[in-house]
Amino acid sequence: MVLFNDAMEQRLLGEYDLHLDHSGVQGKRLASRLREIAQVGFTAEMGSCRLGYSDEEKQAKDLVKQWMRDSGLEVRQDDAGNVIGRLAGKQDNLPAILSGSHVDSVPNGGHFDGVLGVLTALEVVEAWKETNYQPSRPVEVVIFSDEEGSRFNAGLTGSKAMMGDVGLSDLKSLIDHEGVPFEEVVRKNGLSANSFMDAARDTKEIAAFVEVHIEQGKQLEKNNEPVGIVTGITGLNGLEFSFKGKAGHAGNTPMDDRQDAMVAASEFILNVSFLPKKVSSTAVATVGRLHVFPNGTNVIPGEVKLSVDIRDIHRETLDELVKLIIDEAKRISTVHKVDAVWEETSLADPVLVQDFMQVLQADSLKENQIHPIYIPSGAGHDAMIVGRHVPIAMFFIRSKDGISHNPVEWTSLNDCVTGVHVLKKFLEKLQHSI
C-alpha cells in the first residue's frame, strides 16, 4: 500500500508543470493530500473503499478536518456527519458560498472521485491564506456524507439532510449490505438517526454552492481541455417493464404459434437505443437489468422483466422520451401478441445551472486560457440536491479515458491544479455577483 501511494504521488508530481504553482496554489501540497486520503480504505486491487458512515469515511473526514484547522478554518460537524470548514468574510453576516464534495467511495473505486472536489476547495483557501486574501463574504468548504450510496443503495444522504430533504422514516427503513440497520450504523459513527433532521440549514444562510468533480466522461479529453462547465444534472425516470407471453416447449411449439416474451423484449431493447436522439442530443436510455422466466435452455420464455434508466437535462424532453418508450412497449406487445405492463421505480427532476453562473464560469476559464466546453452531467451529485434550493455551479475536470469508480481512475496533477486556479477565480468573481 505504501509503495503504491508513494508511486501515485510520484506519478502526479513527475508529470507536473511547476509553472502552475502561483497565486498561493501549490501542486505538491495537493498531490500529498490526494496520496494521504488514498491510503484510507486502500483495497487489494489498489482502489478505494470508504463506504458511507464507515470507519474509513470518518478517518478521511478527520484528515481533512485537521487540514482545515491548519489553514485557519473554523471547523464543525453537523448531525448528519457533514463537515463544514468556515472562512470568515469581511462582511461575515452575508450568506456563505459553499464549495466541496464528498470523500466516501464505491466499494472498489478510484482516488479522485469526490475527494478532488473537497481538496480543490481547500487548496483555494490555502492559496488565499498565503496571499493574505479575505473574501468579502464567508466561504465554507464542505464534505457531504454518504454521497455514493453504495452501503444503503440510497445516496446523497448528507446533502439531503443539510437541505432538509430527508425523512426520519426513510432513514430508519435503510439496511446496509450486511443487513445492519441505518440507525445502528450511524450510532457506531458517533451519530444518531433521530438527530439527522437537526442538520437542516436555513437556506437563507447559503448564497450558492460550487462543486468540482472529475468528468467521468470523455468530452474534455476529446476537446483537449482540462476543465469544463457543467450545464446541469440530468433528471431520471426509472421504469420496470414486464413482457408476458406464454412459456412452451422449445421443440414442440411451431415458430408461427409462439408468444415469446424474449423476442418481444429483445426488439424493445434494441429500439429503446434509437429513441433518445429523437427528443434531444443530451437524452439517454439504458436497459441495465434483465430477468427471464422460467429461464430454461429448452423453454420458450414466458416472461421477461427489465429495467430502463431514462435521463435528460430538461424535464420536457425527458417526459417526451418516457412516452416514446412506453408507446414502443405497447406497439411491440401488439405485434408479438404478448402483454406489456410497467411501473415507475424512480423519479428525479433535472437541475440546471443558472445562466449567470455559466457566464461567470466561462469568464473564469477564459482568464485561465481555457476554451469553455459545456457538458451536462449524466450522473447525480450533491450539487443536484443543493441546487433545488440555492444557485449552484459545477466544474468538471478531465479524467483519463473517462474512467471512474475504478482503481485506474486518473486525473493529472496539471489538470487538478488548473481546476484549483479556475475555482479560485470563479469564487472571487462570484462573491461580488450574488
Phi, psi of 40 (to 5 degrees): -85, 120
Assess contact for 391 and 351: CB atoms under 8 A. no
Assess contact for 371 and 365: CB atoms under 8 A. yes
CA–CA separation, 232 and 348 (whole Å): 13
Residue given cell 411451431 in the structure block: 254
CA–CA separation, 290 and 307 (whole Å): 7
Q: Which residues are annotated as a binding site?
A: 102, 113, 148, 213, 405
Report which residue type is found at 368. Answer: N
Show the cell assigned to 381.
451529485
Residue length of the chain: 434
The torsion defined by the Cα of 398, 404, 408 and 409, in degrees rounded to 10, comes to 30
User: How many other CB atoms are there within 10 angstroms of residue 62's CB atom?
Assistant: 12
SS3 187: helix
Q: Which residues are annotated as a binding site for Zn(2+)?
A: 102, 113, 148, 213, 405
CA–CA separation, 321 and 111 (whole Å): 35
CA–CA separation, 183 and 193 (whole Å): 5
CA–CA separation, 61 and 354 (whole Å): 30
Phi, psi of 291 (to 5 degrees): -130, 130
What is the distance in angstroms between the CA of the first residue and the CA of the last residue of the chain?
45
- Would you give the distance in Å from CA 105 to the centre of its chain? 10
